[in-house]
Each structure stands twice: as structure tokens, then as C-alpha cells.
């Protein structure tokens, strides 16, 4: 039996003031499942518990094989489409190809309008931003954004945000193991009023190999009960972050992840201590 739902901390999207819970759900690999079988059943249970425990933002991409369609199908089966903040991406070249791909994403995810459409990995950025502006005016999408997943892209993301002040969201890699965004990109997002989604919050799971067989430090147990929460709380403690989007197909893990969106968040001094402690693992 899963733990009783608790209120989740929510942060405002700077450009609108709309609030969303600070932990969402990614779908990379985790929702790349077939039309039946135990993996699909697990994904459905993940989505059910995600909503039950107050989760809202679900992020996908046409790059993630059938993930968009799986999310749409499962959300429809569970009757939770109206409870979700749906986000996906455009990942192709050319205006017409981009329009066709985004229309297909809307169909697959079963929404009348997409909450957030992002230019994936900055691919054909200027072309797609022009379309997204038009779609936002028409109400086809609510917000537009840009994404990447490597630290080497952070300067490009910052440059794009400074050139295009109407971008609502930016998504990039950020974790206790990948802290490069703290140098320039996160402060720039705060200054520019851009909502931030953190992908790779567990550095693709690699950080857990460093904690195997090890107990949480005693000083962290008043705000984190698991290593997953410890790692999420580190990035959630940065006030420029709007939402972290860990991906999972494990129902217990999604509940644990959402647990990081409740209770106390670490302050700057505690976050420094967390990073220093991680360096000793």
C-alpha cells in the first residue's frame, strides 16, 4: 500500500503566475512500452499513483519511441487527462515537418491543446519558435520552451533565452552530480523570469551506485528519508528551479520522488553541505 498523499510544494511559472508541483514525471525510456504486458501495467500504476499523490506535469517527446501515445492512452484509461499538465517537444527540421509532428503529438497525448511545447535540443530553433508563437496566440499551446540535456549546451540555452525573451520554459540537465547550471544558467533564468525543468535529476541513475549499502547522514533525515529524496531535495532547494522531472516505471519510486516535494527544502548552507558530502561518497 502506498503512503497517504501529502500536500506538494508548488512554484509559480514566472511568466503567468500559474503554480505547478515541484516534482513531475519524465517518460524517457520508462514509458517506452508495448500495448500490453507487465511493463505497461507498471507504467499505468506509476501514472495512477502520480496523480493520486498530487503530481501534475508529465514530460515526453516524439524522440521517446511510443511514450507520447502510451501517456495519452493511459491517462485516458485512468480518466486523469484533465488533471495533468502535458509537455512534449518538437524534434525535426523545417516548418511543415514541425507542424505535422506537433499535431501528431497532440493527437497521441489526447489533449485539445498542449500545455507546453518545447524545441527539443534546440533543433531548428528559429523555425519552430515562429510556429510556437503563432500557436500560442491561437491557443493551440499554452506555453513554449526550449531544451537540452548536456552541460555543453548551457551557453546556447542562455543565449537563446536572452535573444527570445518570450520563451516561457527551459529544460536542461541538473543534479547533485551535474551542477554546472548553477554557475550561469540558473541565475540567468531567475533574472529573465523563465520557468526551469530539470531533466536527468538522478544523472541517469548513476549516482545511486555511489550510495549502495550506505545510510543517509543523520543531519539530512529531517528533510529526506531516502537517497532519492536527498538527491531531489538538493536541486529542489534551488529557488530558480520550477520542477524536476525524474522518469520511472516503478510505482514505489514515483511515490518516493513525490515525497521530495513535501516537507522542508534545504537552504543554501545545507545544500553546500549536501554537495560536499556527495563528493565524499
- Residue 11 belongs to a domain: no
Cβ neighbour number for residue 158 with a 10 Å cutoff: 20
- Residue 128 belongs to a domain: yes
- Residue 177 belongs to a domain: yes
> 121 vs 103, 157, 175, 218, CA distance in Å?
19, 9, 18, 39
pLDDT tens, 33-70? 988 899 999 999 999 999 999 999 999 999 888 999 99
Give pLDDT < 70 ranges for the chain: 1-5
- Residue 187 belongs to a domain: yes
Q: How far apart are the first and last CA of the chain?
A: 32
- Residue 138 belongs to a domain: yes
pLDDT tens, 254-281? 999 999 999 999 999 999 999 999 999 9
Whether residue 254 contacts residue 46, with contact meaning beta carbons closer than 8 Å, is answered with yes
Q: Comparing C-alpha atoms, which of 116, 113, 110, 56 is closest to residue 90?
A: 116
- The confidence score (pLDDT) of residue 143 equals 98
pLDDT tens, 208-221? 999 999 999 999 99
Domain range holding 88? 21-210+241-264
- Residue 13 belongs to a domain: no
Please list, in sequence order, all residues whose beta carbon lies within 8 angstroms of the beta carbon of residue 203, skipping any fewer than 6 positions away.
173, 175, 176, 177, 178
C-alpha cell at 58: 508529465
State the total domains in the chain: 1
- Residue 222 belongs to a domain: no
Neighbouring C-alpha atoms within 13 Å toward the C-beta of 36: 0
- Residue 15 belongs to a domain: no
**CATH code at position 108:** 3.20.20.100
- The confidence score (pLDDT) of residue 1 equals 45
Amino acid at each position: 500500500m502506498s503512503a497517504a498523499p501529502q500536500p506538494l510544494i508548488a512554484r509559480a511559472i514566472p511568466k503567468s503566475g500559474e503554480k505547478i508541483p515541484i516534482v513531475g514525471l519524465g517518460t524517457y525510456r520508462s514509458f517506452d512500452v508495448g500495448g500490453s504486458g507487465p511493463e505497461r501495467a507498471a507504467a499505468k500504476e506509476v501514472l495512477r499513483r502520480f496523480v493520486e499523490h498530487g503530481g501534475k506535469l508529465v514530460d515526453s517527446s516524439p524522440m521517446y519511441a511510443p511514450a507520447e501515445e502510451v501517456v495519452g492512452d493511459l491517462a485516458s484509461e485512468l480518466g486523469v487527462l484533465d488533471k495533468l499538465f502535458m509537455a512534449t517537444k518538437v524534434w525535426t527540421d523545417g516548418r511543415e515537418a514541425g507542424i505535422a509532428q506537433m499535431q501528431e503529438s497532440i493527437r497521441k497525448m489526447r489533449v485539445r491543446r498542449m500545455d507546453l511545447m518545447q524545441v527539443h535540443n534546440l533543433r531548428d530553433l528559429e523555425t519552430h519558435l515562429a510556429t510556437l508563437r503563432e500557436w500560442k496566440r491561437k491557443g493551440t499551446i499554452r506555453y513554449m520552451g526550449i531544451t537540452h540535456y548536456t552541460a555543453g549546451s548551457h551557453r546556447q540555452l542562455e543565449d537563446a533565452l536572452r535573444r527570445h525573451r518570450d520563451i516561457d520554459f527551459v529544460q536542461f540537465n541538473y543534479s547533485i552530480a551535474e551542477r554546472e547550471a548553477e554557475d550561469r544558467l540558473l541565475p540567468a533564468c531567475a533574472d529573465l523570469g523563465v520557468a526551469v525543468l530539470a531533466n536527468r535529476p538522478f544523472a541517469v541513475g548513476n549516482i545511486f551506485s555511489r550510495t549502495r549499502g550506505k545510510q543517509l547522514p543523520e543531519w539530512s533525515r529531517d528533510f529526506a528519508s531516502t537517497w532519492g529524496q536527498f538527491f531531489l531535495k538538493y536541486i529542489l532547494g534551488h529557488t530558480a528551479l520550477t520542477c524536476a522531472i525524474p522518469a520511472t516505471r516503478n510505482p514505489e519510486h514515483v511515490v518516493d520522488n513525490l515525497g521530495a516535494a513535501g516537507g522542508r527544502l534545504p537552504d543554501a548552507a545545507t545544500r553546500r553541505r549536501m554537495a560536499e558530502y556527495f563528493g565524499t561518497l
